[in-house]
Amino acid sequence: MLTYPKIDPVIFKVGPFQIRWYGLMYLLSFLVALFLCRYQLKERGRAELYPLLENLLFYSFIGLVVGARLGFCFFYYPDYFLTHPWEIPAVWQGGMSFHGGAIGAILTGYFYLKKKGEHFLYWADLVIVPAPLGLFFGRIGNFINGEIFGKPSNLPWAMVFPEGGPIPRHPVQLYESLVTGLFLFLLLWSIRNKPWKEGAKLSFFLIVYGILRFLFEFLREPGQSFSLLFGWMTMGQVLCLGMIFTGSLLLFYIHRK
């Protein structure tokens, strides 16, 4: 059993103002995405598109944060937040949904690019390449917060989490950060210049991430991933099936086109 490193989720605070590790991970995700997307544009000889890229990422980031919070509230706890709507903006209390964030970022990016007369799938393939690094940083933030821990385990690397009782558990946040974050990024980075049809890389991400996240849900401790169907399928898995279906549908559309 490994000892859980008790890291204060708050980096520093001045009065009511706090800087938290989880929030810093969002900022790092944005900066890394900006750097790697600029690098891809430079590879393609399209440096003149930097200003458009910066605006796209800025608006998509806002859509991601809003969508992540709304997704958490209404995918997982709709009854509570419909009766306590004033708590919906309270992001500092924790609670963000990847699937909601993805929907928010995609919709915001789509409407921004449509307004600019740009082709959505071209930009989606560009931005999706560094997207898994956002998952990597996000899961590290979850680990620091001691949240989204796994089910009980007797493996040598199991940990006792502060909110998980005295039982050693899977550090599933670290599993996901390495597999759906770092590994998936390296995979997408290796194929970034492949002459695939526009939208194929976005489809690839939606399908592969959906499958990986679906499997990791089996290791999570039921909490916000409560059972919905057949006594075992969680909300997270239902949303992952939606991702896999959407990615497959997009891939079918691309090849038909």
Close Cβ partners of 15 (under 8 Å, ≥ 6 residues apart): none
Domain ranges of the chain: 10-256
Residue 122 has a pLDDT of 96
| pLDDT (0 to 100) of residue 225 | 47
What would the DSSP string read from start to end of 56-119? HHHHHHHHHHHHHHHHIIIII-HHHHHH-GGGTT-GGG----HHHHHHHHHHHHHHHHHHHT--
Reported as type and span, the H/E element at residue 36 is helix 21-43
DSSP-derived pairing of the beta strands 227-229 and 233-234: antiparallel
Q: What is the pLDDT of residue 229?
A: 63
Three-state helix/strand/coil letters over 184-204:
HHHHHHHCCCCCCCCCHHHHH
What are the backbone angles phi and psi of residue 84, rounded to the nearest 5°? -135, 60
The pLDDT score that the predictor gives to residue 224 is 44
- What is the longest distance spanned by two Cα atoms in the chain? 58
Please state the residue numbers annotated as binding site.
139
Task: Say what the pLDDT of residue 61 is.
Answer: 94
Distance CA 172, CA 170 (A): 5
DSSP 149: -
pLDDT of residue 82: 87
Ranges of the chain whose pLDDT falls below 50: 224-225
pLDDT, one tens digit per residue, over 200-215 is 999 999 999 999 999 9
CA separation for the pair 21, 35 (Å, rounded): 21
Give the residue among 247, 237, 254 at the shortest CA–CA distance from 98: 237
